[in-house]
Amino acid sequence: LPCHSSFTVTVCRSLCNISKGLGEFLEVKLTLDELNLSNQQLTKIMEKMIKEMVKGLGKDTNEDATVKMIPSYVKSLPDGTERGQFLALDLGGTNFRVLLVKIKEADEINGQPKIEMDSQIYRMPENVITGKGDELFDHIALCMADFLKKLDLLDHKLPVGFTFSFPCKQDGLDHATLITWTKGFSASNVVGKDIVKMLKTAIDKRGDLDVDIIAVVNDTVGTMTSCAFDDQECMIGLIVGTGSNACYMEKMSNIERLDSNKGGMCINMEWGAFGDDGALSDYRNEYDVHVDENSLNSGKQLYEKMISGMYMGEIVRLVLVKLTEDGLLFGGETSEALKTPGTFQTSYVSQIESAIPSGMTAVQNILANLGIGAMRADCEVVIQVCKAVSRRAAHLCAAGIAAVARKIKANHPDRETLRMTVGVDGTVYKKHPTFSQMMSEKVDELCAGAGVDVHFALSYDGSGKGAALITAVAQRKIGSDE
């Protein structure tokens, strides 16, 4: 055919468009590949985690460990005989929760004690989170008084369990020294201080509260305890929400920092700091580096920053901005909103992935709120970015749980197969449509042949109810002189 025929021109244009489209597809794929971790890589991460756990448990190596493996002094879980009325405090993010937990006589049908709870959520103002430490605890005491006043319990003496979801060094069940703030908190003059003493000081200043702080626990420990109340096979606690952490039951003989070989104790891993020594350098990318450098705690909590809800949406935003600037998305035109840090919320990731079966309207609405008009092809790319970021987070979390499961199994060499439950709480786990399934499936793959059978259970009201249950156990042991 003559080279100037209309048919030839049409074919050439089509081939050019196909070539251009294929090129853009490959460029997008290369970008998404940066967020993919193979089983071989995840296995290496798992092995690094196990080594760091052993290092954190060691008497002479703990100081240099990034995973601090903090003894929680929780040695016993509920046995069903606990009774009473307890106040629980739950601080771990921008919301502070106060709960009244009543443990009553056993139900005639299932034989389990009845638990009744009432609670209220109080917003933590930004100036309190980033202001003076004394003012932070004054605000907590104010919320406690407001809650008890509403229930007409100000004149009742109540034992208190305090869930404080930040890395702390514990020297007892009611002593916890803050190691470092995380999750956007930066209140001054608290790091290195006993947070129980600070709270008691704030309570005493008021003069209208009659409470006794019995236990301070991490939310992960509370989550595991709450789940163990219903499931005796629960040996691991996991939080995947604003932040991420895990705990598990360890043999006392393996906790070299404590002079005891009897029984076991729950270890608060503080695994969010895994990788702060460079152990994850081969698996982090430019987006992770950007998120870390622009965070309040640069250089810290690197594992958490690849997993948790505080950072997941921001990673998606950075990928979308890069694809747009490279001309691969939104016709190369971005918006001021999309270029602004923090605007792409992690809740958008869950909403977008939840909306996939019903079409693109929900995705287009979210993007419209960010000042972007998106075509179907754009929406499909956005969905793939969200999926890639979510999948990586779930798989990284799975590598950590697989490490913990294998560590527990090493304590039970006589068991051919050890069944264990992971009690989980946190908004990412609860609200993301596929995170829990992706994590569970990957744990099975990473634990194949290891002699462990890992199951996951949502721990309802874990951090709050768990703190109350731990307080109840402590009260029971005091009463029985155990």
Active site residue ranges: 183, 219
Residues 363, 309: Cα–Cα separation, whole Å? 19
Q: Integer distance in angstroms from the first to the last C-alpha of the chain?
A: 96
Using DSSP's 3-state secondary structure scheme, residue 79 falls into coil
Cα 456 to Cα 17, 102, 148, 269: the distances in Å are 48, 26, 35, 18
Give the strand pairing for 84-91 and 158-164: parallel
Q: 403, 236 in Cβ contact below 8 A?
A: no
DSSP 241: S
DSSP per-residue letters across 417-444: SEEEEEEEESHHHHHSSSHHHHHHHHHH
Record the tokens describing residue 123, joined without a space: 């917003």
Residues 396, 442: Cα–Cα separation, whole Å? 9
Which secondary structure element, helix H or strand E, spans residue 113, and what is its range? strand 113-123
Residues 101, 113: Cα–Cα separation, whole Å? 12
Bridge partners for 272 per DSSP: none
Residue 446's CB is within 10 A of a number of other CB atoms, namely 23
